[in-house]
Chain A
Amino acid sequence: MEKLPVEILCHIFNQLPQKHIIKLTTVSKLFNEIIESNNLIKGLKVDTQTPLTLKSPKRKFSKVFIRDNNTENFIKALQATGDSIEEVTIEHHRTTLNSIVTILNLLPNAKKITFRYINLEDEDEFVDAVVKPLNDITLEFYETDPTIFKILHQVSVKKLVVRNYGDSPYYNFINFYPFITLQKHLISFYFGGIFESNLMSSRFPDVEFRLKEFSIYNSDLEEYVHLETFLANHVDTLEKLSIKDVHGWDPSNVINKCKKLKSLELEAIETNEITEEITSLEELSITMPNSGIDKFPNVRKLYIEGATVESNRIFSANMKKVEDLTIRFGKVNGCYFEKVKKLSLINTDEIENDVFIIHNKIEELALINYFHLNDEQLEAIVSNLNNLKVFKIHTMCKLTANSFQIMRKYCKNLRVLDMKTWSQQFNINDWKCLFDINGIEIYTENFNF
């Protein structure tokens, strides 16, 4: 193997998970040198298991995971390798604002910082230190004391995630407001699992940034007026809006005003007052469709969860351009999307064969957890789909060995056949007839070769 060029060895090693690359350093000096000089080991870890007697790391890491209350250890590690680190996750349970300032100031090139479950205990002792400027970074907070925003004033954020505050002890987001007011380049804001906190419960300050993406998940607010006022400033720039499990809010007013919206996700949301046609919308994902779903004439990619015959009829009548359709749970009948090229059906009710006569331009079909599939229906499907190129069947089903003969007969253009989670055992003689289809690639997990 040593006669292969270094470039190729790197290519091989990079296909392995980090623990196997670590193992390879002890195989030979050459391997260790290749791994070291090409920085193939990317993840640094500093936790309570890291012995204090260790010298500073020699390797250059690009990611670090800090899970240690022992300041001495991570400072030693970050002083040696902090410059090369781009991704940081800090998962202390209890730490201090001062320690966080110290850590982040040793990571001048961080591009993504994640704080998980951080409990800050020193608010009184805290002196005026703040984190040095960091630009255009992604910042994520999971159930982390919002006092932390006090030290992040000089951090300029591009993407902000604030989530998992559902059952947390943190109510008070007072330090969040000055932080957000200083932001200039924020384009994506996600918040989830925020209820019973004071975020969005009073008037939001004026901000300089304009969002392209906004997501709110699982966050019931007492009133939505402040959220709507906040979003009103971003309707000219918003391209992606995602609203899931937010009870008691009809976001129709906001949606009506978004002129550039390309992608919309709604889960368990009532939209009774969408009055404007949103012609810019290209992608729609909707769970439990109800009213107000007939205003998106240019959607090309549609995802429906819990489809009914009625909602399928409304969608079909109003969205003539859908090319990529996914239905998860519910009915497929009632669909009439002439342009569909890619169809994925996940856990749906039994499908009538007519569906494949109507949608005969399909090039990619995925049937996932569709237990009703038998040889007879397979024949009805593939005999109608002359252009089928990719066929995924990921389900327990009633297909027999004869199904391979059926595919061989009709699927002249099939390029990829991907079969997973079948419970039947077939042997090579059952399905080798598929090799007659020119250029087919077969992906499977439980057949005997």
Chain B
Amino acid sequence: MDIDRPSDPQVSVVSSDGTMFHTTLKSILLSGTIKDMIEHIGEGGVENMGAIPLQNVDSKTLEIVIKWIEHHKDNIQPTSEEIKDKTADFIDPWDENFLEMDLDKLYNLITAANYLNIPQLLWLSTRKIAMLIKNRTPQEIRSLFNIEDDWTPQEIEAVQKENQWCEEK
């Protein structure tokens, strides 16, 4: 290991269903939520700290999150503010490949990224859904995401009329 870099101690986290995962401090600090928790423990406490319980993340999802944070632990993470200005042009192929998963897993990942406050992962995973919406018709969107059509034709007409005020950009 590069001697200039501080060591990267092991940290454990426990999923809502009681499975323990081991990862490194650098990786887990990508989560704003955990970063806040650790900052409250204070320095020196990290080595002696017990496993961190994550009551809102199940083991299947936590495994996926850990895979992502470990891959990206050395990257400079954009802040939520920087992400707002981001255009969705180029995506790291590793991430593109990583996000190939069924929708239920993706929803769980989004919820976890939101709870753990990992802005870049939240952006990537929600962008994935936005891309699925983009080139589909309302009917295709309903069937892809399993959404019930609860509009009556009269109601739809009223909504469409209202939309005539909106700029088509």
Please list the residues of chain A having a beta carbon within 8 angstroms of any beta carbon in chain B. Answer: 1-5, 7-8, 11-13, 15-20, 22-29, 31-32, 41, 43-46, 50-51, 54-55, 57-59, 61, 63, 65, 77, 415, 418, 435, 438-439, 441-445, 449
Query: In the complex, how many angstroms separate the beta carbon of A334 from the nearest chain B beta carbon?
Result: 33
A176–B124 alpha-carbon span in the complex (Å): 50
A1 touches B138 (CB 8 A): no
Please list the residues of chain B having a beta carbon within 8 angstroms of any beta carbon in chain A. Answer: 71-76, 88, 90-94, 96-97, 103, 107, 110-111, 114, 122, 126-127, 129-130, 133-134, 137-138, 141-142, 145-151, 155-156, 159-169
B74 touches A15 (CB 8 A): no
A19 touches B129 (CB 8 A): no
Residue of B nearest to A77 (CB): B165
**Do A22 and B92 form a contact, CB below 8 Å, given A8-B126, A12-B129, A54-B161?**
no
A439–B2 alpha-carbon span in the complex (Å): 15
**Do A8 and B111 form a contact, CB below 8 Å, given A22-B166, A50-B165, A442-B93?**
yes
Extra pairs beyond A11-B122, A11-B126, A15-B88 (8, CB < 8 Å): A1-B103, A1-B147, A4-B111, A15-B130, A19-B168, A27-B147, A28-B149, A55-B161
* Candidate in B138, B149, B165 with the most chain A CB atoms within 10 angstroms: B165
Query: In the complex, how many angstroms separate the beta carbon of B145 from the nearest chain A beta carbon?
Result: 4
Residue of B nearest to A445 (CB): B90
A29 touches B97 (CB 8 A): no
B163 touches A22 (CB 8 A): yes
Residue of B nearest to A417 (CB): B92
A16 touches B110 (CB 8 A): no
A28–B133 alpha-carbon span in the complex (Å): 14
A211–B134 alpha-carbon span in the complex (Å): 44
B167 touches A45 (CB 8 A): yes
B111 touches A22 (CB 8 A): no
Residue pairs across A and B with Cβ atoms less than 8 A apart, 24 shown, are A1-B129, A4-B111, A7-B114, A8-B111, A12-B126, A15-B127, A15-B130, A16-B130, A16-B134, A18-B167, A19-B168, A24-B141, A25-B159, A26-B151, A45-B168, A54-B164, A55-B161, A57-B165, A59-B162, A63-B167, A439-B72, A439-B73, A441-B75, A443-B92
Residues of the A chain whose Cβ atoms lie less than 8 Å from the Cβ of B129: 1, 12
A8 touches B147 (CB 8 A): no
A27 touches B72 (CB 8 A): no
